[in-house]
Amino acid sequence: MTPAAQEWKSQQQAKFLWHANPRLDLLKKVLNSEDNWLNQVEAEFVERSVKRKNFNTRRNWGVAIAVMLGLGTGLVFSLIGQRDALIGQIKADRQAAEGNLPHLEASLASLRAAKSLKDWPGYLSLFKPDPKLKIQVTKTLHKVAYGVRERNRLEKHQGTVIGLGISPDHSRIASVDTTGLICLWDRSGKLLNHDCFQGPEGWVLSVSFNPDVSSLATITASVDSDGGMGADSIVTLGLWDLETQQQVELNQGLRGWAWEVSFSKDGEQLASKDGSDRVSWWNLLGEQISENQFKGEPQFSMLDKIYSSDGKTATFPEHKRFPSSYKNTLVLDNPSEPSDITIETNHTWIEIAVFSPDGQQLITAGRDGIIRIWDFKANEVTDPSDTPKVSYSSDEVSLDSLDTTLFSGCHSRIIDQVISSPNRKLVATSATDGNVCLWDSDYNELAKFKGYANGAMDVRFSPDGKLLATAGLDRIAKLWDVETKEQVAEFNAQEKYRVLDLNFSRDGKQLAMVDNDQIVRLWKIESFDDLMVRGCNWVRDYLENNPNIEESDRHLCDNVNK
């Protein structure tokens, strides 16, 4: 050490100090001990080396802390950026969902938004979105649950689909396009037998399954060189074995134009119907048994065929709804309901539409070669009941005994209802100005719920006080989240009815609506998770079986219960 100390003394430069020497700690102990054997130069050398080491240590820590702070700040901004991007995507999916009703794209977009929110990344746990976003996504899920009609989409045909048939037990769907390609699908939309097979040549006018779903009857017309049908077209009644995929030609050259074919209930006979309402019966050898003029409904309404119990007499009954179409718009007319249902189908042109045997689904096909399945099952919890009996809560306050000036500032017209929450901490009022207002127990205004141009009719709190139900003269009932003041759901009464009264079930899971026809309708009150389950159950077949689904969408419902 002595030579090093002397060199430092002569040079007076920091580079000669021992601040990096591993023996410095030992020399420091000697310097501070009573048995200090260092001379003056050596002691000064050790002291300067210790100070230099401490300085370097502080400097290095300062640099490290500055770097960490810089990285930390950058990381925070990066995480905030990722959070904002994810929220932006959720909002975009919400808008896409609400803009694509009533199509499957709406269901997928709403589930993307819900999944992104439900699977919020753990590394963003300190940067969670505003709770209002979940309420907004819940509202979108609810709107989609009650607004989407398209249930599934079967995609295989390249040409125009001109023939559709549904087996009596709804277990199979048959489709035929202009090339004569026959495809068989199960109820979930899965293509059977791994692929389609080549069927009849010409224009397929009608198809029908036999009762045991082993055969398929077809009526086809030959086409000319331009691909059209004319007076010289030959109309053929054919029978196809679905196992062997072979045709048994029953009758070629039918008299007149036959537009529809159907099996008898026992599967031993076929009935065909032409444009003049003439019904002909055939055995499975192609021999005509009888012929009658049918005096039933007009031709356009005869979309479902049934047979009487004797298996011989064919009837073409009036069905629940009759579809008519123009280009890509489908109109469903239900004689027992006040208005038609109009759907923009997204088909390039609708060629054919048939009902399922139970009348709850409609299958459409068009020139785009896509088969779409539409579901019209009621969304109410129960069928409408012809009873006006509904139990009401005792939380309604009589206006005769209340100074209505307490509720000044929110309403511009007469207040017609005041009701308190179950815990008595909140008060809701409705008025003829169409507004519903929320107040605290000291009558301070908390929120104004707008949206009833013709006046608000009724207002109710849920049993837990977390939801507020409102109804107006526009036949719409709405659910509001009391905490966020956001609309959660919306229920529409039928066009000719007006909601008179509302009430929640005791468990808060159902909402009863009484209309001016004294009919009670029950609606489910579903949570975010409930609506995700409903949405996934709606599209699960489509996600599992459609070949054109993006891989990310195919797994949207992997962790959602059935």
Whether the bond between 102 and the residue before it is cis, its omega within 30 degrees of 0, is yes
Strands (DSSP E) found in 253-360:
258-263, 269-274, 278-283, 288-293, 306-307, 314-315, 322-326, 329-333, 341-344, 350-355
Question: Residue written as tokens 């499957």?
Answer: 104
Cα-to-chain-centroid distance, residue 557? 11
Q: What is the DSSP letter of 385?
A: B
The CATH code of the domain at 150-375 is 2.130.10.10
The CATH code of the domain at 396-518 is 2.130.10.10
Say how many C-beta atoms besides its own lie within 10 A of residue 438's C-beta: 21
| pLDDT, tens digit only, all 562 positions of the chain | 667 666 666 666 666 566 666 776 666 666 677 777 767 677 777 777 778 778 878 877 877 787 777 766 777 788 889 999 999 999 999 999 998 887 889 999 999 999 999 999 988 888 899 989 999 999 999 989 888 788 899 999 887 887 788 887 888 888 888 788 889 999 899 998 888 888 877 888 887 888 777 888 888 888 877 777 777 788 888 888 887 888 876 777 666 666 778 888 788 888 888 777 778 888 888 788 887 765 544 333 333 333 333 343 333 333 334 445 445 565 555 544 444 556 666 665 676 777 777 777 778 887 778 888 888 664 444 443 333 333 333 344 444 444 445 666 777 777 778 888 998 899 888 887 778 889 888 888 898 887 676 666 688 999 999 999 988 777 788 899 999 888 888 887 665 556 667 888 888 888 887 766 667 778 888 889 999 999 999 999 999 999 999 998 999 999 898 8
**For residue 354, with 0-12 CB atoms within 10 Å meaning exposed, 13-18 middle and 19 or more buried, which class applies?**
buried
Question: Angle CA(163)–CA(169)–CA(172) in degrees, nearest 5?
Answer: 45
> Which candidate, 276, 212, 199, 275, places its Cα nearest to that of 238?
199
Task: State the pLDDT at residue 137.
Answer: 94
Cα-to-chain-centroid distance, residue 94? 10
Alpha carbon distance 424, 247 (integer Å): 75
> Which candidate, 519, 501, 499, 502, places its Cα nearest to that of 510?
502
Task: State the pLDDT at residue 418.
Answer: 85
Check if the beta carbon of residue 105 is closer than 8 Å to that of residue 96.
Answer: yes
Burial 330-342 (b: 16+ CB within 10 A, else e): bebeeeeeeeebe
Alpha carbon distance 335, 332 (integer Å): 10
3-state secondary structure of 4: helix
When computed from its CA atoms, the radius of gyration of the chain, rounded to whole angstroms, is 38
Alpha carbon distance 497, 504 (integer Å): 20
Cα-to-chain-centroid distance, residue 480? 21
**pLDDT tens-place string over residues 176-229:** 887 888 899 998 999 988 888 888 778 888 878 887 778 888 888 888 777 777
Check if the beta carbon of residue 98 is closer than 8 Å to that of residue 105.
Answer: no
Say how many C-beta atoms besides its own lie within 10 A of residue 187's C-beta: 17
**pLDDT tens-place string over residues 282-298:** 888 878 888 776 554 43
Alpha carbon distance 27, 430 (integer Å): 87
N residues, the chain: 562
Check if the beta carbon of residue 314 is closer than 8 Å to that of residue 307.
Answer: yes
Q: What is the per-residue DSSP string for 219-251?
A: EEE---TTS---TTPPEEEEEEETTTTEEEEEE
Check if the beta carbon of residue 493 is closer than 8 Å to that of residue 513.
Answer: yes
> Which candidate, 476, 276, 477, 382, places its Cα nearest to that of 468?
477
Alpha carbon distance 559, 339 (integer Å): 39
Containing 185, the helix (H) or strand (E) segment is: strand 181-186
Percent of the chain with pLDDT over 70: 71
**Integer CA distances (angstroms), 405 to 19, 432, 455, in order:** 83, 16, 20
Can you read off the two tokens belonging to residue 174? 């048959």
Domain ranges of the chain: 2-73, 150-375, 396-518
> Which candidate, 396, 540, 555, 390, places its Cα nearest to that of 461?
396
